[in-house]
Chain A
């Protein structure tokens, strides 16, 4: 009593909780089940009530040092131990170590006669003895409703059950009570009436022939909790609940860039490729080379010495390796080195939760740097659209938290809008490469486009690419009047451009030569004219000389004449006349 009242009266904001150790359950309950209080786990037959409660005890005993008592009303201890051995729980060992106590309570109506008043003190004493003997902190009663079939007097039973739950609280043990689901009520006998602190509902339903197990916290008094239906699965490691959104968006981001494996594609993505830890969606119609893109990506990962995990839902590893060899990628080499792991399974082979679990497990085991899903849309076949969406969201969250770069391939069916994915994940991916067919002039050619790429400048061009025996090759862009030119249209334009360029060059050369010639002609003319001028000039000098000498002679003649006439003449300076 003291313990619970202390909890109730103390001004403690957080309800004390006991970690279950069940993967995922602690997340959605915000830290486990209410400590020191009973929790009801209900559900229809075969939905895993016993297993969940048993795992709660086993984890408590092995991981949190809290011994537990399992009071079974339906199965004997040995049966239980056998049933859970396949899950890796060794109950007998825990029992020997005094960490666990299995007590089988058998109630057989046909050997019991009721006469008069009684109470269930015997059960209390048994439970108390069990708790005391190993110092148990956790108790499971599975399934206490069996008492109703063994004992007639329901009035006594109900009041005794109420007393039992009160007693468990006073005892301060964290108890789990399981109950079979009734029609219209959570449990057949209305146990939820007595256990009001925490009620967890398990459900196992089959939709389209695919079974999914789901869990919901119906109520959890005094604390916030996830209210969705969470898928859970039971595999060889026990129970795991897959919280849809519990991972949140708190992952670390890296600004490191990694190559897509295609150098010219890296150029389109701001020159450096994808961010590490980002999610890349490659979508396209059939035959557009999605797998080839993924193979390049995987190949580049392995060539950097990193690990790649490739989930192929359509091809076997051998087929994938053979096909990729034809485009010059030797994936077999990486497989041998252990850098590349190809995991092939049909999507419809098991349900979505199982897929998710397998993927989780492999990712944690292999610790890859990159993961490829080829194609991610195949998972829709393993469940419904909605389930697949939420599963892939969870998957992406999970990979992001691990810092793993993921490439998801998505097949667009013909006729669908290209910018639509089977699984509506376009909004949560970081990079979206769209591969498409371009039909032009009687041909189909492949073109690639970066539809979005968060956090980096990226090319806006539609690029044609070829899948050659040396891999995927992005080509130069030729834009014609009807958009980007591909295939032979591109080739002819390419040729045309070449010839135009050639003739232009020739023309330029011809012009150059002509100018040269003109210059030469002009220069020759200039020389001729100059010569002519020189001749002119020399002639005119001669004439002038002649004139001077004639004048001189004239003067001399006159002088001589004057002299001969004996005239009184002054001697005129010879040169005067020339001035």
Chain B
């Protein structure tokens, strides 16, 4: 898994240093899911995300759900346009996955848990 991460995006020296020093499976995943109200789509997105995390990141992930209807000012911070959007805050770099995460393969690629098709 560590290898695929390195392959997918060029890392900064710091990142290389960190990823090489610390063991990969202890890395904390900080995920943020932006939704707008309890729409079927956001509910589906949350369910898909939960399942995905349990499968691949059991025990070392943290999901924060932000309802933009309640906190509209937070949309600007992560440049949110599409709903739902999943933002991977940690590990760096920031990745964004838009959509309800129903396409598991692409979601994994987006989260860099799986190598891209290309």
Q: How does the 8 Å CB contact mask read for A115-158 relative to B, with 1 for contact and 0 for none? A: 11111111101101100000000000000000100110000000
- Establish whether residues A125 and B69, one from each chain, have CB atoms under 8 Å apart when the complex forms: yes
B31 at the interface (CB under 8 A from A): no
The one of A106, A118, A129 that contacts B82, using a Cβ cutoff of 8 Å: A118
B13 at the interface (CB under 8 A from A): no
A497 at the interface (CB under 8 A from B): no
Compute how far the CA of A116 lies from the CA of B110 in the bound complex, rounded to whole angstroms. 12
Min Cβ gap B70→A in Å is: 10
- Establish whether residues B101 and A112, one from each chain, have CB atoms under 8 Å apart when the complex forms: no
A-B contact count (CB 8 A): 96
Compute how far the CA of A119 lies from the CA of B82 in the bound complex, rounded to whole angstroms. 5
A113 at the interface (CB under 8 A from B): yes
- Establish whether residues B68 and A122, one from each chain, have CB atoms under 8 Å apart when the complex forms: yes
Q: How does the 8 Å CB contact mask read for B69-92 relative to A, with 1 for contact and 0 for none? A: 100110110011111110000000
Q: How does the 8 Å CB contact mask read for B23-62 relative to A, with 1 for contact and 0 for none? A: 0000000000010100001000100000000000000000
Cβ contacts under 8 Å, A147 to chain B: 81
Within B92-118, which residues are at the interface with A (CB < 8 Å)?
A: 93-104, 106-107, 109-111
Residue from A103, A114, A118, A128 with most neighbouring chain B CB atoms (10 Å): A118
A107 at the interface (CB under 8 A from B): yes
The one of A103, A112, A126 that contacts B98, using a Cβ cutoff of 8 Å: A112
Name which residue of chain B comes closest to A113, CB basis: B110
- Establish whether residues B36 and A112, one from each chain, have CB atoms under 8 Å apart when the complex forms: no
Task: Please report whether the interface of chain A is mostly helix, strand, loop or mixed according to DSSP.
Answer: mixed
The one of A111, A123, A128, A129 that contacts B81, using a Cβ cutoff of 8 Å: A123
Compute how far the CA of A105 lies from the CA of B79 in the bound complex, rounded to whole angstroms. 6
Assess A112 versus B34: contact at CB under 8 Å? Given A123-B81, A129-B73: no
Compute how far the CA of A117 lies from the CA of B103 in the bound complex, rounded to whole angstroms. 9
- Establish whether residues A126 and B99, one from each chain, have CB atoms under 8 Å apart when the complex forms: no
Cβ contacts under 8 Å, B99 to chain A: 114-118
Name which residue of chain B comes closest to A128, CB basis: B72
- Establish whether residues B79 and A120, one from each chain, have CB atoms under 8 Å apart when the complex forms: no
Name which residue of chain A comes closest to B103, CB basis: A115
Compute how far the CA of A128 lies from the CA of B102 in the bound complex, rounded to whole angstroms. 28
Cβ contacts under 8 Å, A116 to chain B: 45, 99-103
- Establish whether residues A126 and B75, one from each chain, have CB atoms under 8 Å apart when the complex forms: yes
Assess A122 versus B96: contact at CB under 8 Å? Given A115-B106, A115-B107: no
- Establish whether residues A113 and B97, one from each chain, have CB atoms under 8 Å apart when the complex forms: yes
- Establish whether residues A118 and B41, one from each chain, have CB atoms under 8 Å apart when the complex forms: yes
- Establish whether residues A117 and B102, one from each chain, have CB atoms under 8 Å apart when the complex forms: yes
Name which residue of chain B comes closest to A147, CB basis: B81
Compute how far the CA of A114 lies from the CA of B109 in the bound complex, rounded to whole angstroms. 10
Within A55-107, which residues are at the interface with B (CB < 8 Å)?
A: 103, 105-107
Name which residue of chain A comes closest to B83, CB basis: A121
Cβ contacts under 8 Å, A117 to chain B: 41, 99-100, 102
- Establish whether residues B95 and A113, one from each chain, have CB atoms under 8 Å apart when the complex forms: yes
Cβ contacts under 8 Å, A123 to chain B: 81-82
Min Cβ gap B103→A in Å is: 4
Cβ contacts under 8 Å, A128 to chain B: 72
- Establish whether residues A121 and B95, one from each chain, have CB atoms under 8 Å apart when the complex forms: no
- Establish whether residues A121 and B68, one from each chain, have CB atoms under 8 Å apart when the complex forms: yes
Assess A122 versus B34: contact at CB under 8 Å? Given A113-B95, A115-B97, A151-B82: yes
Cβ contacts under 8 Å, B102 to chain A: 115-117
Compute how far the CA of A111 lies from the CA of B102 in the bound complex, rounded to whole angstroms. 19
Assess A107 versus B75: contact at CB under 8 Å? Given A114-B106, A117-B99, A125-B69: no
A-to-B contact residues, CB < 8 Å: 103, 105-107, 111-123, 125-126, 128-129, 147, 150-151
Jot down 18 A-B pairs with beta carbons below 8 A, ordered by A: A111-B95, A113-B96, A113-B97, A113-B98, A113-B111, A114-B99, A114-B106, A115-B97, A116-B100, A117-B100, A118-B98, A119-B41, A120-B82, A122-B75, A122-B83, A126-B75, A147-B81, A151-B81
B-to-A contact residues, CB < 8 Å: 34, 36, 41, 45, 68-69, 72-73, 75-76, 79-85, 93-104, 106-107, 109-111
